[in-house]
Structure 1
Amino acid sequence: MASTSPVILILGSGPNVGQHVARAFAAKGYKVALASRSLKEEDSNADQIHISADLSDPHSVKGIFSKVKASLGLPSVVVYNAAAVTPNNPEDPLSLPLADFSRDFHINTTSAFVAAQQAALSFEELTDHGSKTFIYTGNILNSTTMAPLLDLGVGKSATAHIIRSAAAAYSNRGFKFYYADERKADGAPAYSQLNGDAHAKLYVELAEHKSQGPWQQTFVKDIGYKHFPAA
């Protein structure tokens, strides 16, 4: 049965960012829905449901939202935290096999697009003053290149465009869309040093803000949002 508590859906619930975000929102009274390939649905409980899902299949995303709605209610916060990369030869980036490029693009962008689309539909149905926030976990690759990470950069760049477009188009309806990008204090990318707790703190703040802020949320641990010039 659907809950009267606010609901967050986290797609790509890894042990770092995903789990920190889940705990932070649970502490705020949210019911939590987690979706990833490694989860077992039998581990669900009254406050947190687990959905086994392969986000390389964009057609699966609509079903995830249906399960969340049936079990907990419409999500007012949706976090897309899934990512995939197949490292390429930095001196021959176009040698990347099409199958790898296509699979990773589905995870990094196509399924994220469907998730944003489904989130907007959910937000339309929400009648209260809930958060209505979509957050995509990005990185610096929407504004620069890294030689061995062609397909990840393509995916982040494409999804950043989606987020920017949605943030502009839906703000008058009270829907918020964000591309989150953790940086070091000097603006350098965090990459493998992502801090789950810093993400969680920022994501809660973005959800609690009443109106759309800067769509590209470059942020630093212990500081929060900080604008950096394009790389």
Structure 2
Amino acid sequence: MGAATVLDGVSLSVAAGELVALCGPNGAGKSSAVRAALGLTTLQGGVAKLGGEDVRRLSERERGARAAYLPQERHIAWNLPALEVAALGAPFLSGAAALDRARAALDEVGAGHLAERGVAEMSGGERARVLLARALVVQAPLLLADEPIAGLDPDAQLLVLERLRARADAGGGVLVSLHDLTLAARIADRVVVLNAGRVVADGPPVEALSSAVLRAAFHLDGRWVEAEDGPLLAARRIAQG
């Protein structure tokens, strides 16, 4: 089998204090873009930078200090207590300092009561909170979250997005890939839409997710309705011939 081009000419940046939502249909290249930004994918061209420096020239420790990563996969091999899992986000702190930071992060995501429970004994939603806490513990200037609300109930989805929004409001940069376009429009400062490995829109949420983009990238006939809590997408599927 020949090699396939997953990303083609993608240009993407995240500024301090900004939350950018990365949207697109399945297979658009969202996860690949997140991994490329972290140096976890080999690029055939172009360059990925963290803090203005080529990620390929940074040591693992330097990468870890500049960016926290919350992957899609929520599997944890060992049944460690939540507190210890969260503390893994601060491997270069002393044990006591890492545990203190982990306890504060668990409280922040509403999981303080799970501190001593093994992660294998938790529901998927509980485990998601613990992993978010681990990412917050890093306290890096950039946080990248790949579909962090997939499979979560509405309360957990909103909690995760609220914490990511709070991190941006506190001055951090946040890049989060999302499938829920309404939530993306409500939480993000900017939306970047990927389709077939290319950026097809980049701008304020409702502008980036225009009727034309909804039709071309998502095969939706949609329009935005102003609601009390923010824009709401009213859409119907366009049947494919």
Q: Same fold (TM over 0.5)?
A: no
Q: TM-score, normalised by structure 2?
A: 0.34
Give the structure with higher Rg (CA): 2
Q: TM-score, normalised by structure 1?
A: 0.35
**Greater helix share, 1 or 2?**
1
